[in-house]
Amino acid sequence: MIEILLNIWAAIIGASWYEQLATILGLLGVGLTIRQSILNFPVGLVQVTLSGVVFYQAKLYADMKLQGFFFIVLAYGWWHWSQPGENRTVLPVTKLTWEARIGCIVAGLVGAFLWGWYLYKNTDAAMPFRDAFIASFSILAQWLQARKKLENWIGWMAVNLAAIAVYWLAGLYWFAVLYLRFFVLALGGHYEWLKPSRRHSSD
């Protein structure tokens, strides 16, 4: 047990500077998102770039490619949040319909299976199906966040729980701890966004 703890500690202090910086920027970005600050987008663009390097080195290829998608969606979200619409200074938080929620879940599961199967058959990915689950539902959650939909936080909760286990097993302890913190922040984010979404629904 002591040897395991020592190995974990060695991996934490021996992590690359870009893994550590990505961790810090990730926490900062989520905090800014909860506050509905548009600054979360430039912070996120730097964070996903650094994360892509980390995932490539860990052979988590789906997560690596996911960072490229995040980069595009973050750029879109930056533009979308800055265009709140007529007679509004801030883009409102809104909810999906039940049909859309079910559609997102089905799309996420199908995407995770197909992506995982591809990785399993064609790459040396360390954990193809778990990696693909994280990637698939992260795509959905990031898109919903860019559209300022309340349900993005539910998606992030599912992603974070899976990511904690995957990154810990992969030896990415900084990222495992980061995603544990992300899970807690997602709970807080859902609560904070729930209040304005209720006000918007009653308008």
Please check whether residue 130 is in contact with residue 162, taking contact to mean a CB–CB distance below 8 angstroms: yes
Mean of pLDDT values over 28-49: 90
Residue owning tokens 């197909």: 114
How many Å apart are CA 183 and CA 159, to the nearest integer? 9
Around Cβ 26, how many Cβ atoms within 10 Å? 23
- Residue 56: pLDDT above 70? yes
Around Cβ 184, how many Cβ atoms within 10 Å? 12
- Residue 112: pLDDT above 70? yes
Q: What integer pLDDT is reported at residue 190 of this predicted model?
A: 92
Mean of pLDDT values over 5-10: 49
Q: What integer pLDDT is reported at residue 4 of this predicted model?
A: 47
Mean of pLDDT values over 23-45: 89
Percent of the chain scoring above 90 in pLDDT: 33
Mean of pLDDT values over 153-179: 86
How many Å apart are CA 132 and CA 138, to the nearest integer? 10
